[in-house]
Structure 1
C-alpha cells in the first residue's frame, strides 16, 4: 500500500507538472499554441519543402541607381571645389601681375554654390561642370581683350564640392574628396583605413539622396558592387547586428550574435553548447519566428493577411532530421528553444516526492525522539 501511495503521489505531481521547476514550456504546451488548438501560431515540421521556403533570406546589394552611375572624371569641377590660378603677363605693367614680377597666383578660389568663380578683369566664370582646361580657356579669352597674350594655369585642388563622408567601423572616419585614387567605393574604403571588423560580417551602407544600398564588406571588391561615388554620398561601415536567442535545455541560454553571414539551426545549437545531455528532448527543438505574409502563405498553402507567427519543429531523431536541421537557416530575431525530455519531469517529480517523504520522516523521528 505504501508503494501504491507513492505511485499515486508521483502521478499526481507529474499531472500537475506546472508546479515543478523547468526551463520553459513542454512540447505539448507549444503545440497548444497552434492555430489548430488554442493559439494563433502555425506549427510546422521542418522538411526539405519547408526549408526551401523558409530559408530564403533578403539579399544585400545595390539598386540600378547606384550600379548605372558612371565614374566621375577626376578633372570635372563641382560646386564647393577649390581652384588654384596662376596668371602670367608679358607687359611691364600688367592687369594682375605686381610690378617687378611676371606672374600672380590666386590660391583657394572657391567655386560657389551656383557653380561660378570670380576672377579680376575676367568677371564671373562658370567653373562647375567644366574641366580645368576649359576654365583656363575661358579666362585666357577674357583677359586677352585687356592684356596681350596672357598665360593662365588652372589647378583643381582638393575641395568640399565632391566629397563623401565615411563613418563607423573604419580606421580613419572623416570627410574625403573624390579624387583620381578614390573614385569608387573600394578605393574610398581603402583611403579610410579599411575596417577592424572581420570582412565577412562587416556591412557597408551607402546613402545617396533618398536611396540606400547595402553589401557585405568582402563583396565590395566584386566588380558589380564597386560602385562609382558621387558628391554627398554617406558611407557607413558597421559590424553585423543580427542575433538570435537560445533558451531551454541547451548548454547556455543567451542572446547570440551572428558570427557568420549565414547560420544553420545545427550551428546555432552548437554555438550555445549543444543540447544539454541531462535535460534536452531531441524531438523537441523549436524555432519561433514572425514570417512575412508571402512566405507564410507559401508554407501553409492558404491566403493570409499580414505577418504570421510560425513555429518550426526540428525532430533530430527522425530520418534525415539532422540534415533538415543543418539546412534550416536561422534568421535575425529567431528564438531557438529546446524542450526538456519527459523523463526529466518524472525525475523531478520523484525527487520532489522523495524529498518530501524524507522531510516528513525526519520530522517524525524528531518527534519520536522527544
Structure 2
C-alpha cells in the first residue's frame, strides 16, 4: 500500500509540472511580451510585416547606426590646387649678365621647398610676396614669372609642387606600408593611394575605410568601395586615411545556432541575414513564429504619430512561417547592439512533461512488478 501511494504522488507531482516553468534553453515568446499592453509597461511590441515596414524603416538608427557616410567620387577633389602649407620648388633661369636674381657665373637659381604662407603667398627675392593660393602649378608658374620679368625681363620660371604637409596624404593604419604619400600635383583617388600603400592588410574583419578631412570623418565598407567606382573619391592634400576592422556587433540569444556577440560581416545586415549568420534557428527547439529583435531607442526618438517608436524599449516580432514574415525579415534592418532572439517552442515544454510522466509511469510499473 505504501508503495502505491508513493507512485501516485510521483505521478501527481509530474502532472503538476505542466503549470510550472521547466528548465530550458530559451524563453517562450508569451513570457517576453507578457504585459506589453499594460498601462505601466516599459516596452512596446511591434510586428514586422509588410504593413509596418514602411514606417519602421523611417525610424532612426540605434547603437551607433551604420557607418559615418561617404562623400562619393565627384566630391572633395581640389584638382591639385596649391593651398596654404603646400611646398613648391621654383627654378628661375636668366641669361642676362649682372642679373639681380641669378648669382654671377650661373644661369639659374633654385628656391627648393618654398612653403606657401597662411595667406597663400610665397616670397621671391627682389619681387616680394606673390599670391598663388588656389592656383594650379602651371597658373602659379605664370603668376610668378609675370612678377619676375619686371626686374629681369629675360627670366623664365619653372615650378613644381613639392611634398608639403598639405600636398600629401597620410595613410595611418590598415595598409601594408603606412606613411605620408606626396600627391605631387597629380589627380589621385583613394584607391590609388591605398594601392601605393601596398593595399589593405589581410585578416581585417569586414575592413572599413575611414577618411578624415577638415575635421570631419567619412566611412565606407572596403567591399563597397572596391565594387562601386562611383565611391572612388578624389583625394585632397592633408587627407588622412585609416583602414580598420568593423567593431559593430549584435547579440544572438535563445534557440539559435549560437549564443554570443556577432560582429557585422557587411555594411548592413537584415534580420534574415543575422539569423543565418547566427546558425539559423534550432530544429526541434525554436518557435519559428517567435523570432524577436530587442532594441533600445533614445528618448528624443519617441513619437506618438507612428513616425517613431512609442517607447524607448521595443520588441520586434517576426513570424518565419509565413511568406510575409520571410520577405519582411529580408528587409528589416539590424542595427549595432540589437539582440536577435529565437524563442523556444511551447511543444518543447510539453515534450519535457511527457518525458517526466513516462518516467513516473515506468517507475509505477516497475514497483507493481515487485
Distance (whole Å) between structure 2 residues aligned to residue 240 and residue 326 of structure 1: 22
Q: How does 1:128-167 map to 2 (within 5 A)?
A: 128-137=133-142, 139-140=144-145, 142-144=147-149, 146-147=151-152, 149-167=154-172
1:368 maps to none
Offset at residue 164 of structure 1 (A):
3.5
1:87 paired residue among 86, 92, 98? 92
Distance (whole Å) between structure 2 residues aligned to residue 105 and residue 25 of structure 1: 79
2:342 paired residue among 338, 341, 345? 338
1:364 maps to none
Gaps of 5+ in 2: 364-370
Higher relative contact order by CA 8 Å / sep ≥ 6: 1 or 2?
Answer: 2
| CA-atom RMSD in angstroms | 4.2
In 2 relative to 1, CA 161–331 (structure 1 residues): closer, same or farther, beyond 3 Å? closer
In 2 relative to 1, CA 122–324 (structure 1 residues): closer, same or farther, beyond 3 Å? closer
Instruction: For residues 14-34 of structure 1, give each alpha carbon's deviation from its aligned partner in whole angstroms, at most 9, with x where no partner exists.
Output: 4232xx432243222112151
In 2 relative to 1, CA 55–137 (structure 1 residues): closer, same or farther, beyond 3 Å? closer
1:105 maps to 110
1:277 maps to 283
In 2 relative to 1, CA 70–209 (structure 1 residues): closer, same or farther, beyond 3 Å? closer
Moved more, 312-321 or 26-35: 312-321
2:29 maps to 27
2:42 paired residue among 40, 43, 49? 40
2:177 paired residue among 147, 164, 172? 172
In 2 relative to 1, CA 302–72 (structure 1 residues): closer, same or farther, beyond 3 Å? closer
Instruction: For residues 349-369 of structure 1, give each alpha carbon's deviation from its aligned partner in whole angstroms, at most 9, with x where no partner exists.
Output: 56678889999xxxxxxxxxx
TM-score normalised according to structure 1 size: 0.76
Moved more, 229-238 or 77-86: 229-238
SS of residue matched to 2:158: strand
Distance (whole Å) between structure 2 residues aligned to residue 272 and residue 253 of structure 1: 8
1:232 maps to 238
Offset at residue 43 of structure 1 (A):
1.8
Distance (whole Å) between structure 1 residues aligned to residue 239 and residue 177 of structure 2: 17
Distance (whole Å) between structure 2 residues aligned to residue 152 and residue 267 of structure 1: 62
In 2 relative to 1, CA 182–35 (structure 1 residues): closer, same or farther, beyond 3 Å? farther
Task: Report if the CA contact (8 A) 2:49-2:324 is conserved.
Answer: no
Gaps of 5+ in 1: 360-370
TM-score normalised according to structure 2 size: 0.76
Task: Report if the CA contact (8 A) 1:54-1:295 is conserved.
Answer: no
SS of residue matched to 2:154: coil
Instruction: For residues 230-257 of structure 1, give each alpha carbon's deviation from its aligned partner in whole angstroms, at most 9, with x where no partner exists.
Output: 3333334334333221111222111112
2:320 maps to 316
SS of residue matched to 1:161: helix
Instruction: For residues 182-227 of structure 1, give each alpha carbon's deviation from its aligned partner in whole angstroms, at most 9, with x where no partner exists.
Output: 4444443444444347999543343433544443434447565444
SS of residue matched to 2:38: coil
Distance (whole Å) between structure 2 residues aligned to residue 267 and residue 41 of structure 1: 25
The size of the alignment, in residue pairs, is: 356
SS of residue matched to 1:260: coil
Offset at residue 338 of structure 1 (A):
1.7
Task: Report if the CA contact (8 A) 2:205-2:246 is conserved.
Answer: no
1:122 maps to 127
Task: Report if the CA contact (8 A) 2:206-2:265 is conserved.
Answer: yes
